[in-house]
Structure 1
């Protein structure tokens, strides 16, 4: 059994270097919702040093709200917003001797694309036009995955170690009580259920089927380092191989 562990990095948090040993893929902010060129360079260099696969993490141009506020743009603007960020990351990764593996939208852009096929298609087409070999990381079973698969773009169904789920299989909105998992035992139980059984129990107690290709730990989470260490050890203890898609 094999799983990828990914983490959102380059967002101005102090945890990036400490998290690298416990993950296999890094989603690096491209400067629109967080970060800047210097942060991107340092985070890419860390990933290259640790042999961690690199992904672009494009979000809405909204640093004030950390890219977590929904914004409405015409589809052609979405293509431009995503493309600009991926190209910035692509150039920096190449200059630093790395290779860009994947693209994972951030925050509100990610959540909106998960339920809106038209928006998801705009993002998927933007990625494919840049490099058809890139992998789209999207919420497991979502419109993001569907849109990418429709045009032959490789996908990774993403699940979350530190977030709860609704009965519809979407992430519980952050503003709702219980959205974040803070109990280590609950986190471990959810991780093993998603990987071994390919399902998750919603916050309301419903069992939701899903596909788990890559599991996310948020780099800005209060327990990010501890959770990353814990997930890494949990998978090793259960003979689950941690491996990115470039291996």
Structure 2
């Protein structure tokens, strides 16, 4: 899934002397306080980390509060969704006006009606609400469905994503993965068909010179002059 990345970071953690007896635990608490929050330094939401202490002995900092500093080497897993990225989430609520999903178990996402492709039609069937494809009857989105959608915006403070189901290859992940090759073949066939139709519909006005006929017209003129 797009938006996920792994980064190596050199960090410095400042600890109070009262925590010197159990430095490892204190460091884990400090880093734990950063989890599932957007961090401007990392330019993303910290999801997980693996840390190694580089300094066996921390450097004491002079001042009113004599904190000591420890240098760390950390491997970070970050989530940073940007506009036009394709990400995945689980549908938790659905109505005629919108689809609500949870991404990676912590970030909420909403796809409003104007961002749902006209290919999907809202239905109320067997006591549940759903969006069903008009072209593919088995392509259904309902509560519990894992969906693939486009990111339109990301609220870093609220960790809220606004998404879209307008682009091709968005919708139910299960259906897309099973029918991806078929969809691609249908898209290629439809494009070729449209190209053939557009070429067949073209007419040449009198006095006009289509690029594809330049060489033919020039040869015709030469023959007339020779005659």
Alignment TM-score, normalising by the size of structure 2:
0.21
Report 1 or 2 for greater relative contact order, CA contacts < 8 Å, sequence distance ≥ 6.
1
Hey, which of these two has a bigger chunk of helix by percent? 1
Alignment TM-score, normalising by the size of structure 1:
0.20
